[in-house]
Amino acid sequence: MALALHSAPHFAATLFPPTRSGAEDPNEPQRREAEMVPLPSNEALERVLGLAQWEIDELREEVDRRVGAVLKRDRTVSWLWSWAAMPRAGAGTLGNALFPGLDSDAVSLLRRGGHVYAMNRSVKGPRASLWLPWLGDSEQGPTSGFRMEQVDDVVRKRLERGIGAEDGEVEHLLRGMVCMIPRRDALAMLQLDHWRCYGRATLTEVGHDYTAGRWLVKPIPADGAEWRSWLVQDEDGMLAVRGTVTKVFDKLALPRCAAMLQQIYAGLLATVDAEGPDGTGRVHPDDLDLYDVEQHLQAVMEPVFAWAHRAETHQLIAHAYGLPVEMVSDRLRELARVWQDHARRSWWGTQGDTPSILTIVVPHLIVLHGALRRGLRRPPVDHWPHGDLLMLFVAHYVREARLERLWVPQLSDVVESNQDLPPPEDIAGHWFWAVWHRLLDEVEVEHREAQAAN
């Protein structure tokens, strides 16, 4: 909540509506103006949130650092636009610098604040592929069409000097700034990406990098999967698993699932943000792709199974332990079969009375989505709007909260009694409104005290 309260004022005072430019404009509706929120004193935050003064100041400094990142992206695009004489004269120049070899006649470049969008007829993928790269084309999807290694080295060096960037900083900036979108769906894609181009993704670090989810579907290298920590030789020299085979898979799968869910959270927040507080924004059928958790789980777990089947993996482990490759191959393929059976039951299974990750995550996403939409439409308290603050609060929360809270009662923030399994988490309804009311009461008290002092 402290991060949200420090973040919200910047959208009215520091981060203004993004600059719109380009040879053509799909005319996507602009996001509503930022809402004004109260600016409570550190003493009020200390009383309401139970934070020490130094913690409040430290969180404010972190938000200021992220605001600086948004402003630096804007400065980067301004330099590129000026260098290439955009929007009309330099479309081919900037297009060739960012996408060498691309047909400039088939691509149209747009600017939205600190983001560059290339509208391209060959790009394929539903709206959700802006956040879930495995839903788009592996080579020409919205988040995979731009490759940093293709950017002209001379332009990159000049850009570093032009904006005063440190070594390697331009690469980090461009990865979160450049995106290719389908020309025919440009309006819908741009509206959904308001979460990013208006700076909300960067300030909350939820969905701030276009490339963040790509590693989930990339092949795991032969020396990956942390195999040295769980694959050992027994007394007979045979390959053995330290611990339980299924527990090994869970250990490998958990961080992948957590990263996947972060991408889904970003898409969910962006979808609600695009709809607007009154719900008048168009709802697109392919937004339902966010709820296809079974497909998402299978996509991010497939590299784990593929690693166990790959010949390079077998050869590496056989060489490391001095074993025949055939023996290692048989053992790892058997291991993969056990993993796949376990994943079908415990990760995306829907049969039986035992809950799976799928049956836990889907209701959680439905509850979260519904709570956000209802919360945005609730009337303001004491004439103070709360929509922006609610979205920022939830984004900051899901960015920091552990995945295991969804099924471990001791880690849950919504469990109120002894339960075997936490209820689907409505963190907005459970915490935001109570804290918001207390904060406004405290602000009112401070206001009356100031009037009395005057």
- Token pair listed for 232: 């050992």
User: Higher model confidence: residue 107 or residue 68?
Assistant: 68
Please give the share of the chain, as a percent, with pLDDT higher than 90: 60
Three-state secondary structure call for residue 110:
strand
Q: Is 436 a domain residue?
A: yes
Domain presence at residue 237: yes
The pairing of beta strand 107-112 with beta strand 20-22: antiparallel
Q: Express each pLDDT in 144-159 by its tens digit.
A: 778 887 888 888 888 8
Q: Which residues contact 140 (CB under 8 A, 6 or more apart)?
A: 120, 122, 123, 124, 180
- Asked whether residue 177 falls in the same domain as residue 244, the answer is no
Residues 222 and 360 in one domain: yes
**What's the mean pLDDT in 81-96?**
79
Residues 176 and 245 occupy one common structural domain: no
Examine residue 452 and state whether it is found in any structural domain, yes or no.
Answer: no
State the chain's mean pLDDT as an integer. 90
159 and 253 together in one domain: no
* In a shared domain, residues 296 and 342: yes
Most confident of 116-120, 253-257, 381-385: 253-257
- CB of 202 within 8 A of CB of 285? no
State yes or no: pLDDT of 104 exceeds 70. no
Q: How far is C-alpha 191 from the geometric centre of its chain's CA atoms?
A: 17
Domain around 88: 2-32+46-201
Same structural domain, 178 and 290: no
User: Is the preceding peptide bond at 409 cis, omega within 30 degrees of 0?
Assistant: no
Same domain, 143 and 225: no
Q: Quote the pLDDT of residue 85.
A: 84
For 392-430, how does the pLDDT look when each residue is reduced to its tens digit (9 = 90+)?
A: 999 999 999 999 999 999 999 888 777 788 989 888 888
Domain count, the chain: 2
How far apart, in whole angstroms, are the C-alpha atoms of residue 265 and residue 269?
6
Position 9 in a domain: yes
3-class SS of residue 16: coil
Q: Based on the fold, state whether residues 219 and 194 are members of the same structural domain.
A: no
Instruction: Give phi and psi for 415, each to the nearest 5.
Output: -75, 130
pLDDT band at 96 (very low <50, low <70, confident <90, very high): confident
Q: What is the pLDDT of residue 418?
A: 74
365 within domain boundaries: yes
Q: Is the pLDDT of residue 434 over 60?
A: yes
271 shares its domain with 345: yes
